[in-house]
Structure 1
Amino acid sequence: MDLIRTDCSDGRRCTVLGVPVHACRNPLAVALELHDRGGGQIVTLNAEMTMSACSQRALGAVIAHADLVIPDGAGVVWALARQGVRVRRTPGIELADALLRYAAGHHWRVALIGASPEVMDRLRQTLQTSMPGMDLVLAVHGYQEPETWSALQRQLQGIRPDLVLVALGVPRQELWIAEARRGCTGLWMGVGGSFDVWSGSKRRAPAWMARVNLEWLYRLVQEPARWRRMLVLPRFAWAVLRRGAR
């Protein structure tokens, strides 16, 4: 099968187990183009989220309507390669970091939502030091009372940030973004545990482990309770192989 190579201008829309994902050579360029067109929701797709989207109708609908879905996990990249679509893995934490740095250099208004109060406090201080030009218009931890979230949505609609990063975990962050961004511009992206890493509360896997697609193992060693979540990986691989056989 001929390999399909893509560039930043086409944003080819593919599917893995029926879940959409965009194959593009430069996701950052595509995200910036999306911002120029008024913004939208960015989703970082891995094998675990793919399986969740197959079984959870609400999450599947959000991903189907997202404006940019990047291949965050090695399993998704592998599944695309089986279709003849060659793309590089784009870790969500790296795309989010690149967007933050672009925002700091281009006077974007940035909002951060999620993580614990302690992590958010450290993150504010870290960003003030590492990206002094950033216009951080809102930084709110994720341990809010239920009635607070609707007020937060209204606040974001008034602020109209250029970039909103949300760290509430999957699928909560994707579902909340889809609801909160209605009528708003800017880029909205779920970033999972990125705030913990940026604040220094947790460490990311060494670069060599990322190169050989073993970041999942490093996280498992850091958080042994994740082992149950890892059981989805062989189910994902088997589902991809079965679909390919059919």
Structure 2
Amino acid sequence: MGFSRSHRRKRILLIVDAVALALAYAAMITIRFNWYMKKEWMAPLYTMVFFMEILFATLVNVYNSRKYDYKPIENQDPLEVFVGVCKNLFILFVFLIVTLMASKENAYYFSRLAMLYLVILDFVFVLSFRLIYRAILKKHGNPDIHRRKITALVYEKDIESVKAHLGKELASEFELEAIFTLDDSYNADETRIFDDYEAVLNREQLIERVKESGCSDAFVCIPDKLEIADYVRNDIVRRLGYEGINTYFGLSIDGLWVTGNLIRGMGYYQAVYYSAMAKRCRVLGVDFAVSNVENAVLYVRSHIQDFFGKYICFCNVHTTVEASENPGYMNIQNSSALTFPDGQPIVNRIQKAGFVKAERIAGPDFMDMMFKSTMDGKLSHYFYGSSEETIELLKKNLPERFPGMDIKGYYSPPFRELTPKEDEEIVEMLNASGADLIWIGLGAPKQEKWMAAHEGKLHGVMLGVGAGFNFYAGNIKRAPIWIRKIGMEWLYRLFQDPKRLLKRYVISNAKFIWKVFVLKK
């Protein structure tokens, strides 16, 4: 009986770790003893330790690979690989020490310095080899690993959004095989006619097409606000069930699709967490909204009319420190409809204040989630700011990356103070576009001052996202996710633009530490 690809990769990972451990062991013997065993008992003892190490490492890897939440190494980011190696080696050396201590004589003779070298070298070699193996797998792609074919059943207006999300984010469990529309089979406008002859025939043909696609599973995307939603769900489940096809339903609330981070366990139940966005935490005088990216986007979308004419800020360490020293700028930050923490040190202070589930809500992350959420075309966008070059890149990249987005326009203002007439013309232009979300990329603190000066003048909601324009234009590369996870994106940015950011980061971070930890503000 042959092995599947996933099994072969697990076996190769065992070999990779075994080779890394063997090289680490050889390096330890070389450094500690220079391959010269003074006593005749040393060679048997250290050989026994080597084989025990290989055995325990194999057992640990086999156990981890059988866990329900096992994640293939090519799907892990470097931080996850690092954490995994730390956990595995910790368990390995606990096993090894316990085994040695079971025989007091072996524990007495085994060199402590040799053990220290072995710990350090094992970590270096195993981590390095795993990262190299991961890079090789990533380079050669991620072939099907137990991937089941899935088809999507959606209404025409959601087809681009579903195609983009399912085509890129199904990971290793499913592969999107086909997308079929529900409009002819379950016409959303004909809420009273469920079983006329033509509709029934169309439904039978729809199920037949799903069968012919060879899919074992179907994803059904029906907005909860649709009047016939319950009828469509029940009818599709029944029809697909007769054919032995599993059915998954996209969940929505108030017409907005529910993402993974909005699901919370409530005892026996799984619930959708719907934030009231009422929690505030003050850091250096700035009142930050406590939430996460998914909830923030859901809240803004579902309350969009309440935000018209107002502005939203994303405040990092630099702008927080600047606000703490400038009462006018502080008033601008605290007069916003929402001010989100765009900096890990700020989030750390919020968590220390008792909001343990608070997360960083960076402008680019908010943009990404909002762009994905609005691929259904229900909300429109306008991009105001940055340079002509960046705007041209945005025009090219955004429609390709987020098909279905309703973009009303782009405008790069002059790099000078606008005259009152020019400003009035810009206000008229933005309002005439009818955009719901007006993204402002003028850089801090200029963009916050601009938004505050135009509060109540614009019909849409203003969002100051600074360098967010450049990230989506592609002329500045965003830090990898694993770097963001450990709160080191600022360092990544510093290496990209040291001349501009070095002085800002050194001064701002020093002031933040002084004010927070010394002055206890």
Question: Does 2:278 correspond to 1:11?
Answer: yes
Distance 1:137 1:74, change over 3 A: same
Distance 1:179 1:59, change over 3 A: same
Cross-structure match for 1:159: 433
Cross-structure match for 2:362: 91
Aligned counterparts of 1:142 and 1:68: Cα–Cα separation in 2: 25
Provide, for residues 99-143 of structure 1, a one-character-per-residue CA deviation record: whole Å limited to 9, x for no partner: 223233133221101111111001111112222322221201143
Question: Does 2:391 correspond to 1:120?
Answer: yes
Distance 1:202 1:38, change over 3 A: closer
Cross-structure match for 1:27: 296
Percent sequence identity over aligned pairs:
25
Pick aligned residue for 1:227 from 502, 506, 520 = 502
Distance 1:241 1:96, change over 3 A: same
Cross-structure match for 2:377: 106
Question: Does 2:456 correspond to 1:187?
Answer: no
Question: Does 2:469 correspond to 1:202?
Answer: no
How much is the aligned-residue C-alpha RMSD, in angstroms?
2.0
Aligned counterparts of 1:130 and 1:59: Cα–Cα separation in 2: 35
Distance 1:219 1:10, change over 3 A: closer
Distance 1:100 1:180, change over 3 A: farther
Cross-structure match for 1:41: 311
Give the gaps of 5 or more residues in structure 2: 1-272
Aligned counterparts of 1:16 and 1:180: Cα–Cα separation in 2: 26
Cross-structure match for 1:64: 334
Distance 1:185 1:149, change over 3 A: closer
Aligned counterparts of 2:423 and 2:451: Cα–Cα separation in 1: 11
> With structure 2 as the length reference, what TM-score do the two structures score?
0.44
Count of aligned pairs: 240
Distance 1:162 1:52, change over 3 A: same
User: How far did 1:7 drift?
Assistant: 6.3
Secondary structure of 2:281's counterpart equals strand
Larger radius of gyration: 2
Secondary structure of 2:303's counterpart equals helix
C-alpha contact 2:439 2:462 (8 A) present in aligned 1: yes
Aligned counterparts of 2:398 and 2:286: Cα–Cα separation in 1: 34
Aligned counterparts of 1:236 and 1:144: Cα–Cα separation in 2: 30
Corresponding letter in the other structure for 1:18: G
Aligned counterparts of 2:477 and 2:513: Cα–Cα separation in 1: 28
Secondary structure of 2:375's counterpart equals helix
User: How far did 1:235 drift?
Assistant: 1.3
Corresponding letter in the other structure for 1:221: F
C-alpha contact 2:382 2:408 (8 A) present in aligned 1: yes
User: How far did 1:220 drift?
Assistant: 0.5
Distance 1:101 1:63, change over 3 A: same
Distance 1:185 1:13, change over 3 A: farther
Question: Whose RCO is larger (CA < 8 A, sep 6+)?
Answer: 1
User: How far did 1:82 drift?
Assistant: 2.7
Give the gaps of 5 or more residues in structure 1: 1-5
Provide, for residues 218-239 of structure 1, a one-character-per-residue CA deviation record: whole Å limited to 9, x for no partner: 1100001110000211210221
Secondary structure of 1:104's counterpart equals coil
